[in-house]
């Protein structure tokens, strides 16, 4: 998100203020805020969250209120893009594979060599090649949404 707050970090920071036994309940109460179709709907869901949890966790309410203006641009994205942004497992998996490839190589003589290493790590996504197939299946809908949202810039580099 350009200039926006990272939704994943906003959610994770919310859990810093909640007791461990309430994490699942707080996450369930915040989910409608993040999945709301419009800013107005998100605000209504946030008021519901505030009414339910504001007494016990006022710091979470303040955290979201302070980040609200930066959170709202996230709601303009397609639902499929929002799913990918909020599903950190797929992103963290890719980051782990990139780190592993870079660590195995050591150093790079040029920036181009480093970019090539990262590109090859992302394109393979697994030593047997099956990782790439699984990855692309999870991301198909999101890739289409990204391509439409960003007017073909995603596929332009692959022609």
**Which of residues 76, 102, 119 is at a domain's end?**
76
More confident residue, 42 or 97: 42
CA distance linking residue 69 with residue 5, whole number of Å? 9
pLDDT of residue 80: 76
Q: Say whether both 64 and 116 belong to one domain.
A: no
Q: Could you tell me if residue 2 is inside a domain?
A: no
Residue 54 per-residue DSSP state: T
pLDDT of residue 2: 40
pLDDT of residue 106: 81
pLDDT at 127 over 70: no
Most confident of 55-59, 105-109, 130-134: 55-59
**Residue 133 pLDDT class (50, 70, 90 cuts):** low
pLDDT of residue 3: 38
Q: Say whether both 13 and 39 belong to one domain.
A: yes
**Residue 83 pLDDT class (50, 70, 90 cuts):** confident
More confident residue, 11 or 57: 57
CA distance linking residue 12 with residue 14, whole number of Å? 5
Percent of the chain exceeding pLDDT 90 equals: 34
Q: Is the dihedral of CA 150, 155, 158, 159 positive or negative?
A: negative
End-to-end alpha carbon distance in the chain: 26
Number of domains in the chain: 2
Q: Could you tell me if residue 1 is inside a domain?
A: no
Q: Say whether both 69 and 95 belong to one domain.
A: no
Q: Say whether both 11 and 70 belong to one domain.
A: yes
Q: Convert the pLDDT of each residue in 1-39 to its tens digit.
A: 343 457 888 888 999 999 999 999 999 999 999 889 889
Q: Of the candidates 84, 56, 68, which has an alpha carbon nearest to the alpha carbon of residue 143?
A: 84
Q: Could you tell me if residue 137 is inside a domain?
A: yes
Q: Could you tell me if residue 25 is inside a domain?
A: yes
Q: What is the mean pLDDT of the chain?
A: 81
**Residue 40 pLDDT class (50, 70, 90 cuts):** very high
Residue for token pair 């869901």: 45
Residues 33, 10 contacting (CB under 8 angstroms): no
Residue numbers of the domain that contains 28: 7-76
């Amino acid at each position: 998100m350009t200039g926006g707050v990272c939704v994943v970090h906003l959610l994770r920071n919310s859990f810093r203020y909640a007791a461990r036994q309430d994490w699942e309940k707080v996450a369930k109460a915040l989910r409608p805020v993040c999945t709301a179709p419009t800013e107005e709907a998100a605000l209504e869901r946030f008021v519901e969250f505030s009414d339910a949890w504001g007494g016990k966790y006022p710091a979470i309410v303040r955290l979201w209120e302070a980040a609200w203006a930066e959170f709202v641009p996230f709601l303009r994205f397609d639902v499929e893009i929002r799913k990918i942004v909020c599903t950190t497992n797929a992103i963290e998996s890719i980051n782990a594979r990139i780190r592993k490839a870079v660590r195995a190589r050591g150093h790079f003589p040029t920036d181009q060599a480093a970019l090539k290493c990262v590109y090859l790590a992302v394109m393979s996504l697994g030593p047997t090649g099956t990782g790439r197939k699984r990855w692309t299946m999870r991301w198909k809908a999101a890739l289409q949404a990204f391509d439409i949202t960003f007017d073909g810039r995603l596929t332009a580099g692959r022609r």
